[in-house]
Structure formats: C-alpha cells, structure tokens
Copies of this chain bind each other. A is one copy, B any other.
Amino acid sequence: MKAVSQNTDYQYRVEVCYTPGQFPLYKQDMGIVVVIDILRATSAMVTAFEYGVKDIIPVATIEEARQYIGRPGHIAAAERNGEVVEGFPVGNSPLAFKGMDLKGKTIVLSTTNGTQAIHTGREARQLVIGAFLNLTALTDWLLKQDDNILLLCSGWKDKFSLEDSAFAGAVMDRLLESGKFGVEEDSSIASKYLYMAARDNFMSILKAAPRRKRLQQLHLLDDVKYCLTPDQSNVIPVLLGDRLVPLDH
C-alpha cells in the first residue's frame, strides 16, 4: 500500500482524536470539531433532521432526558449499551427515528458515547455532526472552511472504535486531496490507512469485531447497514448553544 501522500505546504490541519478522553491532547488550535458516532448516535441525528425534526438537545444523563417524556412537541430518547432505556419511546436507532412523526419536534437525546463526545467538544468555535449518511455534504462544507478541523471519535466507553476512526479516515482522504489540509498526528495517518483497508469490505470487517456481535444479537443489523451507507442526507447538524440544528450551507 502506498504511503499517505501529503502536500507539505498545506494551510490548515485536519486531525483525528480517537476518544473523548484524549480530546485535551488534540484540541489545541482546532476551531472546528466534527463529532463522530457511526453506531449509532450521529447517524441517528442526521436521520432525524432529514425527516424533519426541528432541533436536538443532546444531554449527558438519562435523568435529564427523562424530564421530557410526554412533554408536547418533544421526543425523549435514551440509549445505553445498544438498548432503549426503559420508559423511553426510542433510543438511538436511525431506522426507528425514520418511522416516527418528527416534523417540527424537538428530540432530547442521551446515548452511551455520542452525546458525551458532544459535551466534550462543545467549546469549539463550531461543532458539527458527521456520519456516513452525510459524508459528501459534510466534506464539501469542510473543504470550504478556513480553520483547523478535529475529527472527534466518540469511541466506545472511551476506547478506540473501528467504525468511527475509519469514517474519520474517509473524511480525511477527501480533505487531503485538496492540498488545503494536512496532517501532523499519527492517529490521523493511521485513520486513513484504516479507511483504505476497510472501504471495500466494511461490513465483513465490522462483523469480525466482537463488539458488533452485540448489535447483531440485538437484531440491529439493518441499523448497522443503514449507518454504513454514504450520502443519504445533505443535512449537517451544528451545535448552537445547547442544541443541534441543521446548518444553513
């Protein structure tokens, strides 16, 4: 496999942070943070906006989300360890969101990893949401930005996640081609190699990963396939105060 080619006189950096816990080591000079939780929080967010939700309030705790159960105009959603939390109508399944009436509503969402990562990155100048579902729209927009970009993987309970980092590699692949962006971190270079290794065979690679077996056991294979399908939406969710809204782009 050939080495990651790189223009050395790039203007801005695009880097990958594998886990929220490592964010302090990577955040310096990073104006834009892209939060990534492919399975499934950020995929669910993009889907919800695609199907008409007005805004999404990401909250860290189940208790915060619970206060919104039954409140008019709101959908309280909570997931832990891949399952819908008891008492909630929905968790973080994109396909479940697709089947609901979302038009004009507010989702209040708490998940195992993704909403924590948003909390971690919230002080960036701009925080946006990435998923395979909005890959092209996101990268087209990122290419136009004049700032350093940190791709923040949500991981799994602060451990490295294969699908998040491979997706980061996909974004980076497109940004490096432009010559406008370059990388300095080993984690970024490795992400691109992972993407190059995985892109033709994503499902089988993920199936080899034991953590995904759990999703299979939970009968979420349709969700997984959908989350790995690029370009189902042009929506780029952006954090505005304490809520996500669709970016006007």
Contacts and interface: CB of A to CB of B under 8 A. Distances in A.
Interface in A183-200: 183-187, 189-190, 193-194, 196-198, 200
Contacts of A6: 208
Query: Which of A2, A157, A201 has most chain B Cβ within 10 Å?
Result: A2
A3 interface: yes
A193 B196 CA distance: 10
B184 A210 contact: yes
A186 B160 contact: yes
B187 A190 contact: no
A19 B204 CA distance: 27
Contacts of A186: 156, 159-162, 209, 211
Nearest to A16: B160
A205 interface: yes
A1 B158 contact: no
Interface string A95-129: 00000000000000000000000000000000000
B18 A160 contact: yes
Nearest to A208: B3
* Chain A interface size, under 10 / 10 to 19 / 20 to 34 / 35 or more: 35 or more
A200 B2 CA distance: 9
Contact of A3 (B156, B184, B205): B205
A7 to B, nearest CB: 12
A136 to B, nearest CB: 24
Interface of A: 1-6, 18-19, 21-22, 25-26, 156-162, 165, 183-187, 189-190, 193-194, 196-198, 200-201, 204-205, 207-211
7 contacts: A1-B198, A2-B204, A21-B21, A183-B210, A190-B194, A194-B194, A197-B197
Given A161-B186, A183-B210, 14 more contacts: A1-B200, A2-B201, A3-B204, A4-B205, A22-B158, A156-B186, A159-B187, A160-B186, A162-B190, A165-B190, A189-B208, A189-B209, A190-B190, A193-B197
The 9 closest A-B pairs by CB, nearest first: A160-B187, A162-B186, A193-B197, A3-B204, A184-B210, A1-B197, A3-B208, A3-B205, A160-B186
